[in-house]
Structure 1
């Protein structure tokens, strides 16, 4: 679009200059930026490449021109779109996260209007990074040459190469930028496009830098990317170098410049690409003072006073910007930190039933100091202070409340609702009983001798009274009253107590606390005990529900419950455990062995905790219980019991020692290693080397079959195996000729004649009769084995007497997860979680990297003892001949008392699509209705829709239904 406004006129600013804002999925930042620029009189054009546009922005800012360009994902593409629509003779470009100073834009514009020989003008900028309570500022531009006015492009490039200031945010003549983009290549990475933008401008026009502050750019938006043009320190990405060379050549060739200019262009592009805020020094930080309503700045030792930032006018501008940044948080670092801060505010805003707790107004005042932009918190605190009659505080809060409301931003409290921590709190609150439900449950328990009583054992080795207060408050705020609390503390005892008191204090030290715990459990009067640490918080309804569920559970000896864990950054994560899962317990005790409810009689029968394994005493106790009584009496309740600190992801020597001890008791000379810190991989070291028969099924494409066979023959270290290939006779000659060319290993392959179109179930049953092996492996014909020890890894599990079936991790050719064990009822069928995730991720509760039990695995790669397969009468061909025979087989083997194990240590390339038909699915649902109603290796609180292992819908506990 051509401009009709001549340069240098006194036309309105909106007819002379346009600020172009670039956005992509930055609704909050864009709204904040438009709020910041709304008092300026220049034109604003938004180019938004989000897949969905926020229509409310256009309504809130009717004078702004908005262009929805979802196809324009890169920087250069957005600029080209903008150039087609800008009608003013001058423009500047900014990201929605960053802020350019309107006064600086007007000064740069005035310079260009007064100096027709220049095409580009700007000042100096800083980089910023927003946090929950402060904004950090970093050096971005350095003082250097301010005038690139050489008559030729070569001359300008020679000088520009020394400092290479980015010109992305410069005020530019629109026609200059159009000419530049006419020769600027469009098929480069977005970051290289930004570098090319600056190089193209200095090639095409004279550039002037004014000694004024120009803007503050969000740090991540100027950070060096990892790919393709960014590299690790000290290395060079060859592809990136080649791309830079190509762009430099194209730009200089288009301008007819010589080889010396090409050298400078290369250097300029390299410097511009590496121009990275994270490499620059931090200059100062501005921490928001909630009482004063303004920032307090702290400067680093190194400063650059030659830059034009060190004046009160600029710091006043920053103060106003920081208010916007905190009132409308947008950056990833800021939002992540705010989740933890607002979680703490939410917890501090709860009224306490504990009379010794900190008063609510003091709690809220502390919350306000941590982040004053939570309007819900301000309103609650204001109401309390008005009731208290604190006039001075009320006046301060009222003024602040008005300032927040005048900002016209959404209440930041809504941000917390969308976070994981906010969702978990809301989910937990929905499970609390109503007043009438709580009364009915209490009456029901009272009529039954009060129900079971719980001994809450609290370990306070740091003598932290604040943590202990948080634990006490949570217990008092709960609905259960059938408890006794015993605190084992290294601090001074606040009172003389006995085991008969509801609250009992015991003095301990690092060397004797295990013995003291055992002594007290022997003395106190309770039915169940649970171990916790100071600072852990008991959920309001956890023990209340446990009391109901355990009334008639005389067979239970130990019960696991769920929990929420505070992560190192202060946010919450859910730990929704499956039903008892032996292999997951052994593989991941840090997440599976903590905070069990243990029947006191069982605790005493086992001799209590062991001092030898005091850093894994709960895990050791469970292993000893399994050694003594097997897997009976171990249960799980789908209800969070605690909010506690997440265990560190590190190897625990005591866990490994007691696991080795336990395995030795069970007769294994095993070895325990760790692939991922905090987890265990068990090598049972079986001496036997049984014969294994691999049954290839689902043969269609012979090329795919050949790939499958080749992977088995070339990648199988185990020597005692055969491969059975059932296929119509017509294929035999082709396959035999091919096998003859594959070396002596091909002699392991037996071709079996079978009619075309035979269903999978019938085929596997028939071929199993021909198998010479003691163990059968079903392997899909379109699969490829990956690791050479795949058979050993399968045997490592299936040779255990308690294991019936073992399955593998199926991955797509691109490395994404295709199948990782099967879950009954997932997406209204039988499905796998984590599908599409990179195979390198750890998954929910590390479940993609550790061995565990599951309900079923698929015939794509499944190992079972031939004797067990025959004892189970093979595959049920009457109901599941065409589909789901594998699921039914695993469930029948499980019903007979055997475990199905999924191992991530066997990887097979295979699409992982489970064969299913409506008839087979209906038959499976009818036959295994209980398993479909609740897969015991999943968790009832997790969603059964989508990718799996996500938070399920918010729903109430059916409290009155539990009264029976």
Structure 2
């Protein structure tokens, strides 16, 4: 806009100057979670930004836009000019007709005028979120009101399941601990149970007195266990004396929530075809304070092979336990873990149900269980598998399974889309050639219209016996590019790989193939790190921010995440296609990638199709790479890109509906708006009152507030 001192411009000039002064301003304010600085006007120092970031010298476009859309998330620094301070300090400029930043650049520097700058350094600063005590107070009090509601609801239960609680004591059992356990059983809302106390004949007088007191309750019986009988044999004696259809093996360290047996009975009545039930749990101090909740996924076979995440409160159908031969008397611990694995061999994983409620409080002072790898080895051997079971390298007491590779080794086709950015592609290929131990692979490069001479010259240097170049000049469509390349692949397996990947672990392909080659496995994903060793991908959970997100994103190297899940192989609904291995026949059977999803969520959609076809998608942390995410494409900033992204989000929500907020690999008590797996406020599992009175609207997924909507918009 041109403003002159003649005509109407003369009266408008003061307003125009005021506008410039107000627009070149910095304003800051504070909310309870974060410091917010809003910067207006032409005050971004582009020259300083380029000097600080020489890798951006060839960047095409506005540098301020780059900082706001990409630089902040990459941890880059920026400098901003304080125009208001500049005018206040230099009185002779108060009548200036240009804005402060323009004056400083054109005249102020040469005149050696002082100026003030704000230096902004971006970093991840986690806000202080409500803790577990807040969550308990709102949704899981276990108080008298809840007990009253559940007692009123007892006639509603479809099946009055009867439980036999096996509680073996030994000479090391602490009387006070056992008393708390028995007291919790006496306070159960649901009374359809018997408790069988295994009392060693050489038990001390205090423990005998406690058992005798417990036996005054008609639901409790004491079963004498001869001295010297092992714990496995003791459990079998108790199971033989049990009269009810469902059994669970507790220890004195387990303190059941008052509603534990009610919710288990409700689940059994609702899912009469299931054979095994388990629930969430936490830790409890002597004072009654609760901490360290373990909010578990639904049945997850690959996760179960790393440790017994089902926990102590696992309920089995008694008839199936007897058919499986009961508890293994040769073991000294992990009886429930071994029994569950042997039952899975008979009934499969579909017969296991997860009750997503905190029903067991484990004594806080009990040490963590160190799992016996021999139990997993025996299970794999009995199922006809071949695998190496070893201690986990990052999580003490857990195991890692490496399945044997097929013989002969199958051909794997690695597919890499690219467009120019030859330095990225060369870095990727060099790392594959130099660090991949697996010998039998080929590479297909999809050239999506490269025009730079350096790129085309590099293509000519590649060995055509090892690398094939497929030219595809269509507008970028990740799905279409990969579908075309998979059709040309010679390998039995295809590995989709971004051109901004750098290999870390030389056995990455053996690790991923050890899972992908199994007949019930679909897509396999890897653990990906940003160059600064923050976590980029440890699996995809659907439901985050409405569609999907990466769990444990930005976790520091050395940290293992919630429930150690960032470091454990496990089944997931989806994995990223930045590095994704799958059998070619499965890829083609599900129709490949949906080409209407050109950029975003095509990998999520593909994985969900694979899952729905009956395969398990698996994340393994033992195949590791660096990922310079979307470095060759940049951020989504144009109106056309935003519109395309909105269409893809809408398509995913229309296609999968409520399934997007019910990921079996997740837990309804954890948040869908935080990728670091914090607690959900409110949970997507109704409280007792909401369940009984049908107040579903109070327990649904909370609509994002203003700050969350703004954060989502900025994130996109």
TM-score of the two chains, using structure 1 as the length reference? 0.53
Checking the alignment, whether the CA contact within 8 Å between 1:578 and 1:938 is kept in structure 2 is yes
Pair 1:940-2:668 in alignment: yes
Question: What is the CA–CA distance in structure 1 between the aligned matches of 2:557 and 2:148, rounded to whole Å?
Answer: 49
Find the counterpart in structure 2 of residue 538 from structure 1.
Answer: 256
Q: Structure 1's 912 and 703: CA in aligned 2 closer, same or farther, altered over 3 A?
A: closer
Once the two structures are superposed, what CA deviation does each residue of 1:710-759 show, in whole Å capped at 9, x if it has no partner?
211121111111111111465597446435667x6x85221111114241
Structure-to-structure mapping, 1:68-147, within 5 angstroms: none
Question: What is the CA–CA distance in structure 2 between the aligned matches of 1:731 and 1:664, rounded to whole Å?
Answer: 55
Structure-to-structure mapping, 1:277-676, within 5 angstroms: 420=132, 423-424=135-136, 427-429=139-141, 434=146, 437-445=149-157, 451-461=160-170, 462-490=172-200, 491=203, 493-494=208-209, 501-508=218-225, 509=227, 511-566=229-284, 572-589=291-308, 591-645=309-363, 648-649=367-368, 651-652=370-371, 655-674=372-391, 675=393, 676=395
Checking the alignment, whether the CA contact within 8 Å between 2:549 and 2:675 is kept in structure 1 is no
Structure-to-structure mapping, 1:833-872, within 5 angstroms: 833-872=551-590
Structure-to-structure mapping, 1:854-893, within 5 angstroms: 854-877=572-595, 879-893=596-610
Checking the alignment, whether the CA contact within 8 Å between 2:279 and 2:357 is kept in structure 1 is yes
Cα drift, residue 842 of structure 1:
1.1
Find the counterpart in structure 2 of residue 718 from structure 1.
Answer: 438
Question: What is the CA–CA distance in structure 1 between the aligned matches of 2:553 and 2:438, rounded to whole Å?
Answer: 30
Q: Structure 1's 568 and 896: CA in aligned 2 closer, same or farther, altered over 3 A?
A: farther
Once the two structures are superposed, what CA deviation does each residue of 1:635-689 show, in whole Å capped at 9, x if it has no partner?
111011110036645643xx31121111112222321112121111112122421
Checking the alignment, whether the CA contact within 8 Å between 1:726 and 1:754 is kept in structure 2 is yes
Find the counterpart in structure 2 of residue 820 from structure 1.
Answer: 538
Q: Structure 1's 418 and 831: CA in aligned 2 closer, same or farther, altered over 3 A?
A: closer
Once the two structures are superposed, what CA deviation does each residue of 1:237-266 show, in whole Å capped at 9, x if it has no partner?
xxxxxxxxxxxxxxxxxxxxxxxxxxxxxx
Structure-to-structure mapping, 1:738-817, within 5 angstroms: 738=458, 747-817=465-535
Checking the alignment, whether the CA contact within 8 Å between 1:808 and 1:907 is kept in structure 2 is yes
Cα drift, residue 525 of structure 1:
2.1
Checking the alignment, whether the CA contact within 8 Å between 2:142 and 2:257 is kept in structure 1 is no
Q: Structure 1's 596 and 811: CA in aligned 2 closer, same or farther, altered over 3 A?
A: same
Moved more, 814-823 or 550-559: 550-559
Q: Structure 1's 728 and 436: CA in aligned 2 closer, same or farther, altered over 3 A?
A: closer
Checking the alignment, whether the CA contact within 8 Å between 2:444 and 2:469 is kept in structure 1 is yes
Cα drift, residue 865 of structure 1:
0.2
Pair 1:960-2:683 in alignment: no
Cα drift, residue 904 of structure 1:
0.6
Cα drift, residue 512 of structure 1:
3.2
Question: What is the CA–CA distance in structure 1 between the aligned matches of 2:508 and 2:575, rounded to whole Å?
Answer: 16
Q: Structure 1's 535 and 630: CA in aligned 2 closer, same or farther, altered over 3 A?
A: closer
Checking the alignment, whether the CA contact within 8 Å between 2:420 and 2:455 is kept in structure 1 is no
Q: Structure 1's 912 and 482: CA in aligned 2 closer, same or farther, altered over 3 A?
A: farther
Checking the alignment, whether the CA contact within 8 Å between 1:609 and 1:618 is kept in structure 2 is yes
Gapped regions of structure 1 (runs ≥ 5): 1-50, 55-67, 71-416
Find the counterpart in structure 2 of residue 410 from structure 1.
Answer: none
Pair 1:685-2:404 in alignment: yes
Once the two structures are superposed, what CA deviation does each residue of 1:153-202 show, in whole Å capped at 9, x if it has no partner?
xxxxxxxxxxxxxxxxxxxxxxxxxxxxxxxxxxxxxxxxxxxxxxxxxx
Cα drift, residue 876 of structure 1:
2.1
Question: What is the CA–CA distance in structure 2 between the aligned matches of 1:459 and 1:582, rounded to whole Å?
Answer: 28
Find the counterpart in structure 2 of residue 100 from structure 1.
Answer: none
Find the counterpart in structure 2 of residue 897 from structure 1.
Answer: 614
Question: What is the CA–CA distance in structure 2 between the aligned matches of 1:432 and 1:769, rounded to whole Å?
Answer: 63
Q: Structure 1's 430 and 537: CA in aligned 2 closer, same or farther, altered over 3 A?
A: closer
Checking the alignment, whether the CA contact within 8 Å between 2:142 and 2:258 is kept in structure 1 is no
Q: Structure 1's 53 and 793: CA in aligned 2 closer, same or farther, altered over 3 A?
A: closer
Question: What is the CA–CA distance in structure 2 between the aligned matches of 1:857 and 1:53, rounded to whole Å?
Answer: 35
1:704 aligned to which of 416, 424, 430:
424
Question: What is the CA–CA distance in structure 2 between the aligned matches of 1:599 and 1:919, rounded to whole Å?
Answer: 48
Moved more, 495-504 or 671-680: 495-504
Q: Structure 1's 924 and 423: CA in aligned 2 closer, same or farther, altered over 3 A?
A: closer
Checking the alignment, whether the CA contact within 8 Å between 1:454 and 1:529 is kept in structure 2 is yes
Checking the alignment, whether the CA contact within 8 Å between 2:264 and 2:277 is kept in structure 1 is no
Once the two structures are superposed, what CA deviation does each residue of 1:531-575 show, in whole Å capped at 9, x if it has no partner?
221132111222212212211422100012100025899962000
SS in 2 for 1:659: helix
Question: What is the CA–CA distance in structure 2 between the aligned matches of 1:631 and 1:791, rounded to whole Å?
Answer: 27
Question: What is the CA–CA distance in structure 2 between the aligned matches of 1:482 and 1:700, rounded to whole Å?
Answer: 69
Checking the alignment, whether the CA contact within 8 Å between 2:279 and 2:310 is kept in structure 1 is no
> What's the C-alpha RMSD, in Å, of the aligned pairs?
3.2
Checking the alignment, whether the CA contact within 8 Å between 1:833 and 1:949 is kept in structure 2 is yes
Once the two structures are superposed, what CA deviation does each residue of 1:578-608 show, in whole Å capped at 9, x if it has no partner?
000000000122x335321111122122121
Once the two structures are superposed, what CA deviation does each residue of 1:344-387 show, in whole Å capped at 9, x if it has no partner?
xxxxxxxxxxxxxxxxxxxxxxxxxxxxxxxxxxxxxxxxxxxx
Q: Structure 1's 52 and 459: CA in aligned 2 closer, same or farther, altered over 3 A?
A: farther
Cα drift, residue 442 of structure 1:
2.1
Question: What is the CA–CA distance in structure 2 between the aligned matches of 1:882 and 1:53, rounded to whole Å?
Answer: 35
Question: What is the CA–CA distance in structure 2 between the aligned matches of 1:418 and 1:761, rounded to whole Å?
Answer: 40
| Paired positions, count | 545
Question: What is the CA–CA distance in structure 2 between the aligned matches of 1:524 and 1:573, rounded to whole Å?
Answer: 33
Question: What is the CA–CA distance in structure 2 between the aligned matches of 1:649 and 1:912, rounded to whole Å?
Answer: 37
Cα drift, residue 423 of structure 1:
4.5
Question: What is the CA–CA distance in structure 2 between the aligned matches of 1:528 and 1:889, rounded to whole Å?
Answer: 40
Cα drift, residue 931 of structure 1:
2.2
Once the two structures are superposed, what CA deviation does each residue of 1:768-805 show, in whole Å capped at 9, x if it has no partner?
01111110001111222221111111101111111111
Find the counterpart in structure 2 of residue 400 from structure 1.
Answer: none
Question: What is the CA–CA distance in structure 2 between the aligned matches of 1:431 and 1:887, rounded to whole Å?
Answer: 41
Once the two structures are superposed, what CA deviation does each residue of 1:454-497 show, in whole Å capped at 9, x if it has no partner?
22222322232211211122222331211111122332544679
Checking the alignment, whether the CA contact within 8 Å between 2:164 and 2:247 is kept in structure 1 is yes
Once the two structures are superposed, what CA deviation does each residue of 1:505-536 show, in whole Å capped at 9, x if it has no partner?
22335633322322332332222212221132
SS in 2 for 1:713: helix
Question: What is the CA–CA distance in structure 1 between the aligned matches of 2:551 and 2:286, rounded to whole Å?
Answer: 26
Question: What is the CA–CA distance in structure 1 between the aligned matches of 2:222 and 2:614, rounded to whole Å?
Answer: 45
Find the counterpart in structure 2 of residue 115 from structure 1.
Answer: none
Find the counterpart in structure 1 of residue 48 from structure 2.
Answer: none
SS in 1 for 2:303: helix
Checking the alignment, whether the CA contact within 8 Å between 1:455 and 1:484 is kept in structure 2 is yes
Question: What is the CA–CA distance in structure 1 between the aligned matches of 2:292 and 2:423, rounded to whole Å?
Answer: 46
Find the counterpart in structure 1 of residue 46 from structure 2.
Answer: none
Find the counterpart in structure 1 of residue 627 from structure 2.
Answer: 910
Checking the alignment, whether the CA contact within 8 Å between 1:430 and 1:954 is kept in structure 2 is no
